Structure formats: structure tokens, C-alpha cells
Amino acid sequence: MASASAALLKSSPILDKSEWVKGQNLRQPSVSFVRCHPTSPSAFTVRASSYADELVKTAKTIASPGRGILAMDESNATCGKRLASIGLENTEANRQAYRTLVVSAPGLGEYVSGAILFEETLYQSTTEGKKMVDVLVEQKIVPGIKVDKRTVVSIPNGPSALAVKEAAWGLARYAAISQDSGLVPIVEPEILLDGEHGIDRTFEVAQKVWAEVFFYLAENNVMFEGILLKPSMVTPGAECKDKATPQQVADYTLKLLRRRIPPAVPGIMFLSGGQSEVEATLNLNAMNQSTNPWHVSFSYARALQNTCLKTWGGRPENVKATQEALLVRAKANSLAQLGKYTGEGESEEAKKGMFVKGYVY
């Protein structure tokens, strides 16, 4: 997913090969819509109840005060683009070096409760020879697994009613299968930022998408207490001339959450979707100025790592400064989750937008 593909979280401190193999059943090409739509959804029996306590415990752990998710599940190809931006070759050694400094940042677990990993990272060791999963667990960060089940909606291209239904059905089946395997699904109905449309149009589309998603989640007997929702914030299209303030984004997004999301869902972990680091944090902070029935937090990739990556530049002597940059962003979003972020002292780099038209993860 950068933060766009679906992910699974499990409270077990060690994720062994057999648990990943279960996830393999979910792997599909990264397509926009799933074209599998049985006529009788109720024919599927979901046994989430056999893992109910574990699912609820894991979801609540992720949705703990002042903490959110670090999405570091970029595919090797996407990771290569990030490395190229700082002049590095896309080799396993370079990917390992960068991921090592991220997972081993001292005190990261104070602000981050879960980390979504790409398959390579799941089995990878740090440059010191320790399993990255073990390093995360020691930091009290729940490891997550990425599966290539990306479901996105593009506003300039529609979306058609059929496209929305197919996307919602695919997410619901993914969530049901995940829970049946004892894994907490991150349900991600992403609405792309591409387009010149205003915030009202985004709200209109998101209403339809979220309604369909939760209808089919219920049809598939998905236990709401054992999922995490990772939606896009309600913002204008990236190319819209009328920009929204953090308060406007918060008002529209919270209104949509109240209309569509059951209070039983423990955590709303927003993706940043190309917003600048500061913009994503300001918007999250605005949403936490009032009491919400859900844990409203973050599941950011670029909005946590952009300044961090550029600080590193591939140089070993920059590792400490890079980890400090990561912790600055993690702490800022932790404060935003608590509604206490002020935005003071932010760098110019952190204020730069990261939207890429037609972005592919």
C-alpha cells in the first residue's frame, strides 16, 4: 500500500512462514476492482468467533492512545523509486539498511503501535543480523502483513455504481477471510486524490463507497470490533483550485464517519494519500479536537518517512539524524492523535506536498 494495499495484523509476537502462507490465499494482482461477486454472500460461513478475543485484543492494541501505524510495506519496485530519489540503487542491501534504521529507531513504539511490512521485510534481518519482526516486537509494535488486494476509487473516472459494489465486495471478502484466519484486517476503501473536483464531490462519493463497504462487511459476518478502517480523508481533489483548511477537512470527514461507521469499529487509521507531512498531521489533529467514538489516528507511509529518507541519503553517518527525523514525525502524529499538535518548528521539507498524479504503489 505504500498505504494502499490491504494488510493484516496479528498479535502473535512471531509471524512464521505458515501464517504468511495463509495470506497467500488472498494475493491478487494490484487491480482497482475485484471481479468476483457470488450471488449469495450469506452462503459463506465465517468463524471469526473462534478468534474473537484475539482479534479484539489486537485491534485495541493498535488503536491505543497517542499511537498509530507505520506503513512501510512498499513493494521492492516502489522502494526503488524512493531510493532513486536520494541517488541510491535499488538493491536488497540498500533496502535492508534503510528498513533497519527505521525499525530500530529508539523509542519508536511510544508513538507507533503497528507496522505494515512487505513480504521481503517480513523475513528480513537487520544489518546486525536480528529479525526485523523481533525488533518491532521488542518495541511493542505489532507486525503486519501486506497482501496485494488494492481497492481504489477514482472520482474523475466515475465511479460507476457497479465499480463501487465490486470494490466493496472484494474488501468484505478479504476481511472475512482474514478474520477466519485469526488476522485483523485493515479495510482500506481508498479514494484517490486525483482530480479537480471540490470537497463536496469527494464527500458524495465517499458516502456511497463507505455505505457499500459496511453493507457487505455485515453481509459477510465480519466482526466490526476486530477490524481497523484505513480510509482517505475527505479533501478536495489535488488539482482543485479551492483548497480546504484542516478544520474543513475535519468537519467533512467526521460528518462522514458519524453517518457511515459503526462505533463498534475500534480504530480509524487514515492514509495520507499524497498530502504533505505537515498537512496530514494538521488534518488529523483537527479531527481530534472533539471526542470521537473511535480511535482516530494514522497509518502513514510517505507522511512519516519523506523527511527521514532525505535526511539519510544513504550515508551511515546520517543514521542517528535520520532516526531523530522519523521520531519527530511520529511524535507529531502522536500528538495529533491526542489533539495536541501545534505545528510549531516544522521544516520546509515537511511542508512539501507529495501528491503524484496516477500514483502506482
Say how far apart CA 218 and CA 105 lie, in whole Å.
39
Does an H or E element contain 145, and which? strand 142-150
Active site residue 190: no
Largest alpha-carbon pair distance within the chain? 59
The answer to whether the beta carbons of residues 22 and 178 sit under 8 Å apart is no
Q: Which residues contact 170 (CB under 8 A, 6 or more apart)?
A: 33, 34, 36, 149, 151
The one catalytic residue among 10, 146, 165, 230 = 230
Q: What CA–CA distance (Å, rounded) separates 85 from 310?
A: 8
Residue from 74, 119, 166, 188 carrying the catalytic annotation: 188
Q: Which long-range contacts (CB under 8 A, 24 or more apart) does 239-242 make?
A: 239/194, 239/195, 239/196, 239/357, 240/195, 240/196, 240/197, 240/198, 240/199, 241/196, 242/198, 242/199
Please report the beta strands in 174-327, taking only residues with DSSP state E, as ranges in sequence order: 184-187, 190-191, 228-229, 267-270, 295-300
CA atoms of 70 and 280, how far apart (whole Å): 14
Amino acid letter, 341: Y
The dihedral region occupied by 268, where left means phi > 0, alpha psi between -120 and 50, and beta the remainder, is beta
Q: Which three cell numbers stand for residue 99?
A: 528498513
**357 in catalytic set:** no
Question: Which residues are catalytically annotated?
Answer: 188, 230
